[in-house]
Amino acid sequence: MRRVLLLEDDAPLRDALAQSLMLAELDPVPAASFVAAKDQISPDFAGVIVSDIRMPGRDGFHVLNYAQSVDADLPVILLTGEGDIPMAVRAMGDGAFDFLEKPCAPSDLIAVIERALTNRALVLENRALKRQLETGDAAARLLFGSSEQAEALREQVRHLGRSGSHGFVTGEAGTGISKVAEVVHLCSPKARAAFVKSSSAGLDVAALDAALSDAAGGTLFLDDISALPAQTQFHLFERLEQGIDVRVLGGAIDVDALEGLLYTELFYRLAVGRARIPSIAERPEDIPVLFSHYVAQAAEQSGIAVPDIEPEYLSMLMAQDWPGNARSLMSAAMRFVLGMSEPSVANGELGLAEQMGQVERALLVRALGRHNGQASTAAKALKLPRKTFYDKLARYGIKPENYRR
């Protein structure tokens, strides 16, 4: 939510500023005084504050000081009169995000607000990640499924994480090997330290040393470890023998095949711990849970309300083979969110015109989702005349109001 708490005692100016913010797809919360705005200011306020400096009663400095007492990272932008600039400069030293002289161009104000919103979003995201590390079970939060195979995977990940030992994470292509390796890291005492991912193919000795340095105190994940050059394998074994403070996890499709591809001593050094990811084919009962999760992710990424999934649709998904595993299920979820073909209709069975139509419809839906169902703004983003845009919406039966949040 792109919310802006707007404090301005001059009613006509407050209304004009609020209108400018709405035109920029921001969500203004106008207030005539600090007292009227106070209840909005909280540590989880997912927005920024814009306040006039000179207001009757509690002025902009009071707003700034109060906001900082609630949350030192909450951005406060001050609006100043011509004679208030020295005061505004002082306020910057006290922690204000920025200041603008009144009257200011809407484009200048919106540019500063956008920067502040980006800053605020990063702060809140980092806090959320920190809370996830401090509380809860990463395996339960991040590895989905209710089958026996899914629970066995979570238990393997927890055990490998807690053990702190080196190990292998294995699974078919598309099962999310690197993601599971990261969950192993999050389940370990090293969770607060770095998790570094590196491709093994072409990784020379110098690059390996750099990756180990970046992962100091944490975990280094080597994707497709079978492709690690022979010289680098030997060097890695030597570094492990020296007792470095880095856990090394290797990703592979099959552990047994690694025994003939890796330097023998390195293989046995890493084979202490293992976590194997079951394929989708091994646990079809998890498909409804996984697909629903991927649909929610795809809808959030596209700015679209999460669509309903009929039980018959899920049954159809469960009846199919998924050789691409989670990766292909994610792709199906994105197509579902964008209103593209049923899973039983492969693109290869469609003509060029039908396939192009699917792509065009998906682009229209995504534009509406990203612009909160505002058809004129979505048309502008796609560089289409409004009439052409509306004609295309009518052709595909798309209603902009369905994409307003």
For residue range 54-77, list pLDDT tens digits in order: 888 888 889 999 999 999 889 999
For residue range 78-125, list pLDDT tens digits in order: 988 766 667 767 777 778 888 888 888 888 899 999 888 888 888 887
Distance CA 121, CA 114 (A): 10
Residue 228 region, left (φ>0) first, then alpha (ψ -120 to 50), else beta?
Answer: beta
Reported confidence tier of residue 402, pLDDT bands at 50, 70, 90: low
Buried b (16+ CB within 10 A) or exposed e, 213-226: eebeebbbbbbebb
Averaged pLDDT of the chain: 86
Amino acid at 230: A
For residue range 285-342, list pLDDT tens digits in order: 888 889 999 999 988 888 888 888 887 788 778 877 788 999 999 999 998 888 875 5
For residue range 192-226, list pLDDT tens digits in order: 899 999 999 999 999 999 999 999 999 999 999 99
Assess whether pLDDT exceeds 60 at residue 264: yes
3-state secondary structure the chain: CCEEEEECCCHHHHHHHHHHHHHCCCEEEEECCHHHHHHHCCCCCCEEEEEECCCCCCCHHHHHHHHHHHCCCCCEEEEECHHHHHHHHHHHHCCCCEEEECCCCHHHHHHHHHHHHHHHHHHHHHHHHHHHHHCCCHHHHHCCCCCHHHHHHHHHHHHHHHHCCCEEEECCCCCCHHHHHHHHHHCCCCCCCCEEEEECCCCCHHHHHHHHHHCCCCEEEEECHHHCCHHHHHHHHHHHHCCCCCEEEEEECCHHHHCCCCCHHHHHHHCCEEEECCCHHHCHHHHHHHHHHHHHHHHHHHCCCCCCCCHHHHHHHHCCCCCCHHHHHHHHHHHHHCCCCCCCCCHHHCCHHHHHHHHHHHHHHHHHHHCCCCHHHHHHHCCCCHHHHHHHHHHHCCCHHHHCC
Please give the model's pTM, rounded to 2 decimal places: 0.56
Hey, CA dihedral for 294, 297, 301, 304, is it positive or negative? positive
Reported confidence tier of residue 345, pLDDT bands at 50, 70, 90: very low
Reported confidence tier of residue 141, pLDDT bands at 50, 70, 90: confident
Distance CA 370, CA 389 (A): 15
In this predicted structure, what is the pLDDT of residue 311? 73
